[in-house]
Amino acid sequence: MLLCLLLSDAPDAAIDALLDSVHACTPLLLMPARGRIYCGVDDLQGLHAVVRRFKCRAAMAPRRTDALLRACTAEIAGRIDVFDNAEEVPSRVLTQLTELGINDDDAERLRLFGLDTIGRLRTVQERHLGLQFGARAAMLYRFLHDASDASLPLYVPPPQIHVTERFDDGGREPGLILDAARRCCQRAASELGTRQAWRIEVSVLDANDAITDVRSRILRQGAQLVRILWTHVQTLCRMLLRPDQLWCGIGLRLASLRQAETQQIDLFAPRVSPAELHELLRPRYGDVMKQVQILDPWTLMPDRHARIVPVGRSISSDQGAER
């Protein structure tokens, strides 16, 4: 048996946090698509807590395809249901799997042909599917008849930054703890380099370096500067400060590390238009500013082609004055 979890409508940092939580329950984990996770059931009680906390759609089944189809049709998020197969699942659920390319018209065509469930659709041969779906038939047939077992690979977590600092004697003083947190924050920021952290976790360590309490935060925007990291770390530390909490050490973990997005910069400053330049110079040089005014662009006589006039004067005003 394996478990399938779906959490597609969430930011990348939240999906990374879900991966970490699932990995804490089982080392067998696979995420073939964004927000779609297959995992083992080593710690089923812990997985129940993870599904409830993240409000995932989840289902257990012997095969990956059946678990995925059952999870797609889960009516209540945050609960794990167990199934033997997905034969009774409506075939319309295939429209939720974008990689198959099945749209609503295709689902309606299947219903009219009497193939309204996955079990009935699996009885159709690949050449028959090809008459309706063309090039998509092979992918759909392989998906429906996926014979892969419940074996999953060992999950290798992405790089993270974890710094700790121990106290000689256990303490509760906020000043001592915040000073240590600031030093941890500076060390972690120096290891970030050009990357940004999207998740921050502060933990309380006991005498055996075990975590006794922890607070974490998913950021709306990646943090890279020390002052931004320190703002979040200080807030998390104050949430952990309690009169009965004994600190033998502090741990800081930066996760969901990603390269900072590059920004296009202008190599040349924008040119100032003549009208803008006139407005900038008018307060000081308005009385002596001149401009070239074209009278007749087609004439061959220079004195009738253009003339120099003060800025702001027009041909119509001069003609009216001459009259």
d(CA 45, CA 50): 9
Is there a contact between 311 and 286 (Cβ–Cβ < 8 Å)?
yes
Residue type, 194: T
What residues contact residue 22 under an 8 Å CB cut-off, 6+ apart?
Answer: 5, 29, 37, 39, 47, 50
Q: What is the pLDDT of residue 161?
A: 93
Are 28 and 22 contacting, i.e. CB atoms less than 8 angstroms apart? no
Q: Which helix (H) or strand (E) holds 189?
A: helix 174-192
Contact between residue 205 and residue 213 where contact means Cβ atoms under 8 Å apart: no
pLDDT of residue 321: 45
Cα separation, 74 vs 23, in Å, equals 23
* CB proximity list for 15: less than 8 A, separation 6 or greater: 7, 34, 35
Model's pTM, two decimal places? 0.69
Model pLDDT, residue 268: 67
Between strands 2-6 and 306-310, the pairing is unpaired
pLDDT value at residue 318: 52
| Interior/surface letters 192-202, b for 16+ CB within 10 angstroms, e for the rest | beebbbbbbbb
- Residues of the chain with pLDDT below 50 are 315-317, 320-323
Among residues 8, 12, 17, the alpha carbon closest in space to that of 216 is found at: 17
Element (H, E) at 145: none
Which pLDDT value is given to residue 239? 92
Pure H helices in 221-314: 226-240, 274-285, 302-305
Phi, psi (rounded to 5 degrees) for 139: -65, -40
Q: Which of 204, 318, 298 is nearest to 251 (CA)?
A: 204
The region that residue 121 occupies, defined by phi over 0 for left and psi between -120 and 50 for alpha, beta otherwise, is alpha
**Residue whose C-alpha is closest to residue 183's, from 234, 115, 146:** 234
Name the CATH superfamily housing domain 161-259: DNA polymerase, Y-family, little finger domain (3.30.1490.100)
Residue ranges per structural domain of the chain: 2-144, 161-259, 274-317
Q: Which residues contact 143 (CB under 8 A, 6 or more apart)?
A: 65, 97, 100
Tokens for 276, please give them.
């803008």
Q: Which two tokens stand for residue 156?
A: 């290798």
Closest C-alpha among 123, 126, 97, 89 to residue 36 = 97
